[in-house]
Every structure is written in structure tokens, then in C-alpha cells.
Amino acid sequence: MLRPLRPLALSLAFALPAAGLARADEAPARPAPRPPAGPVVPVVPDAGQAPRAVDLALCLDVSGSMSGLLDATQRKLWELCTLLAQAQPAPRLRVALYTFGGGQNADDGYVVQEVAFTDELDRVYERLIALQASGGTEYVGRVVRRALDQLAWSDDPGAVKLCVVAGNESADQDAAFPFVRVAQDALQRSVVVHAIFCGPDGTAGDPATWRELARWGGGAYAAIDMHGTVAVATPFDEELGRLSVALNGTYVAFGAQGQRAQENQARQDQAAGALDGSVAAERARLKGSALYCNGSWDLVDACKAEGFDWAKVEDQDLPEALRGKTVAEKEAYVAARRAERAKLQAEIQALGQRREAFVREALAKQGADAGRSIDAALGKAIRAQAEAKGLRFGGP
């Protein structure tokens, strides 16, 4: 069943070189170089290539009028991550979350680092779900500057490095950090800036500044009606939800934060389900992929890391079932959980493919435009940048 949650209008256009629209006080002293036509030159991957680093910084305007953006991002984060999970070579995804326009500290330009780069996506979703729209001073240049300077971006030359900024006011409000210069600096550091304007499209006024942000940042521009998205209920959603809960039983929490993190895993399942069954289904798909990693608190994931040493794990930090056991007994216990997880993940992946096909067919039958959504706009931009770095995606 196709459920339009609210009417949606979106126009997507990749940033192309055009006549400069930057304000005079933002222009460099010397004639500004023309921005590149594309982010990077494609790299052909080698056989047996190691997992490719993908760093994604999400910078969201949380001023008082942006509740629609938060709702759409909360609904579509898992679907976006699932797209990246299908890439080859297998990506190693880290996500950071910044907000601007709602912070309490004027000295920081009302910019808040909610989560630094992490591969544990439940931490990101926990903060994302908790966000509320409030405030009203939106410094786009400042939030990109903070993301560039504060985050530990990958130094791998083959890494895909993205900074996605979304807001609904002019991007040129920050006199201290002009967005053109900040975007230029980002691109020089191989961080591509993608701009999402949450409002009616246009070639002048506020939308023009966001086009310029994407143009100088080497990324894509999209204009969206943030107050809406489209959800497709499928016959597979309930079973995906069941498998997702069953998957939680294969996690072996350890360490000081283990129990809390495992409880948070269940809370984020519930949060996704409270939004919509389709959101929970997409979260299940992500949990069934290699991108869903929790090595800081789960022994099954931690044991896969190079250099893992049982001798460094205190007995008191282990679950009751493993305390006082030999290394061989511990490894056998973890191996059994790993095998159970692999079986469940295979079921999720197979069911997820059927769900994806069902959604495509449902949208086609209804004559709905799947591209008219925030996730499609982001997905198209991110996929294009990833492919330019040599990642491959199967399917449409």
C-alpha cells in the first residue's frame, strides 16, 4: 500500500558551473577559480580491494520551522544507509551529526556537534530521534567549518567524504565564515558539500545561495518540500521486524557501556517502528548488512577486529555466561552467536530484496515519482560521488 504521509515536491539538479552568484564580500581578493564540473575523477577498484572508507557528516537546520526536515530524516536515514550497504567494494561507513540554528551558545554560532564520526549507527539515530526544532539563527558557513575542523576525516585517498547540509534560509548569513570560502576549503580537502534547500526552488534569492554552496563544494543541489515523504507498506515488513528483534538476541554485550548500548539497540528498534512499519523494515535491512557494526560493546563484532585479545577483556566486563570460562569456551560461545546472526542476516537480506522489488512495483503502478523524496535526492548525490570514487552499485 502506498501511503503519502504529506504532499511532496522536490526538484533535483546537480550543481553545474554557472555565472557566479556569490556576494561581493564573499568573493576572494583575486578572481575566483571556476568550480570543478564534478567531485573527483573515477577510480577503478582493484580486485580484492579493502573496504572503502565512507565518511558522511549530516548538518541539519533545527531552527523553529524545521520540524519537517527532522521528521523526513528520521524516517529515511536507514534507507539511505541501506543504499550504501549495497556498494562494492564493501564500504566502511562512519556518520557524524551536526545541528545549527538551535544551539544555545552564540559564540559557537548556534552550532552543536551531536555525534562525532562513528560506525555505530544506533548512536546517531538516538540523537537524531531526540532532536526538536527551536531557535532561529542559521549559520551555514559555520556548521560546515566546524564539521571540517572538528571531525577526524579519513586520510585514505580513496575515501568518499561527504558533508550534507540542509536548511531553509539564505546560506550567506554568516559574515565570519562566508560559505563560498568554506566550501572551497572543503573541496580542497576532498570533502564534497551537498546542499539541500528546504523550500521552493528558484534561481535567485535564498535558493541561489544554496546552489552556490553546492557549486563551490563540488556537490549536488536539491530543493525539497520538507513537509512530506512517501511510505510503502509491504507484506514483508512484519517479518522483517520480527527478524530484527531476533537479531538482537545474537549480540553479546560486554564492557562498562555494553548493557546500556544493548538496551539502546532495542529502543531504536521501537523508535523506528513508532514512526512507521516501513521505517522499521528499512532499519532491519540495515541491521542485516555489514554496515551495522557495534564492536565497542558487542563481542561478536569486537572479535572480528584485528588485534582483539581476550586477555585484555576483564572477567568482570564479560556477561555472566562467559565469566570464568577458558578462551576456547569463550570463542565457541561467540562463534555460535556469530553463526546464528549470519543465518538471520541472510534471511533479512533475501526478504529485503523482495521488499525493494515490491516497493518499486507499487510506486510504478501508482504512478508515483520515487525521485520526489529527500532520500532519493540524497541517494542520487551520494551514489554519484561514491561511483566516482570507484564503488559499484547493483540494481536500478
- Who contacts 46 (Cβ-Cβ below 8 Å, separation ≥6)? none
Query: Which pLDDT score is estimated for 33?
Result: 44
CA distance 217 to 163: 9
Residue where the block lists cell 512530506? 228
Using the predicted structure, report yes or no on whether residue 12 has a pLDDT greater than 90.
no
Report residue 49's pLDDT band, with 50, 70 and 90 as the boundaries: low
Q: What is the mean pLDDT of residues 24-47?
A: 40
pLDDT at 202: 80
CA dihedral 106, 134, 210, 165 (to 10 degrees): 90
Question: Which pLDDT belongs to residue 372?
Answer: 55
- pLDDT average, residue stretch 236-241: 97
Instruction: Please give the share of the chain, as a percent, with pLDDT higher than 90.
Output: 68
Alpha helices per DSSP H over 46-200: 67-85, 121-130, 140-150, 179-188
Query: CB–CB of 317/254 below 8 Å?
Result: yes
- Please say whether the beta carbons of 193 and 213 come within 8 A: yes
Task: Kindly report the pTM of this predicted structure.
Answer: 0.86
* CA pair distance 199, 209, nearest whole angstrom: 13
What confidence tier does 234 reach under pLDDT thresholds 50, 70, 90? very high
Poorest-pLDDT segment among 38-42, 51-55, 103-107, 382-386: 38-42
Alpha carbons 170 and 362: distance in angstroms, whole number: 37
The pLDDT value recorded for residue 153 is 98
Mean pLDDT of 268-288: 96
pLDDT at 229 over 80: no
Rg of the chain over all Cα atoms, to the nearest angstrom: 22
The pLDDT tens digits of the residues spanning 182-221 come to 999 999 999 999 999 988 888 788 999 999 999 999 999 9
Q: Which CATH number is 2-229+373-393 given? A: 3.40.50.410
Residues in Cβ contact with 173 at an 8 Å cutoff, skipping those fewer than 6 apart: 137, 138, 139, 140
Residue 16 pLDDT exceeds 70:
no
More confident residue, 244 or 198: 244
**Each residue's pLDDT tens digit, 68-126:** 999 989 999 999 999 999 999 989 999 999 999 987 778 888 999 999 999 999 999 99
In the chain, where are the structural domains located? Answer: 2-229+373-393, 232-366
Residue 45 pLDDT exceeds 90? no
Alpha helix segments (H runs only) across the chain: 67-85, 121-130, 140-150, 179-188, 205-217, 237-248, 258-275, 277-287, 299-302, 327-366, 374-388
pLDDT-derived band of residue 374, with 50, 70 and 90 as boundaries? Answer: confident
pLDDT per residue over 156-169, tens digit each? 999 999 999 999 99
What is the spatial distance between Cα 262 and Cα 390, in angstroms, rounded to a whole number? Answer: 35
Q: Which of 7-21, 334-348, 378-392 has the highest mean pLDDT?
A: 334-348
- Looking at residue 48, what is its pLDDT? 57
Phi, psi for 362 (deg, rounded to 5)? -65, -45
Rounded mean pLDDT, 250-267: 97
Judge contact between 95 and 58, C-beta under 8 A: yes
pLDDT of 226 over the 90 cut: no
| Greater model confidence, 10 or 377 | 377
pLDDT level of residue 256 (50, 70, 90 thresholds): very high
SS3 assignment, position 320? helix
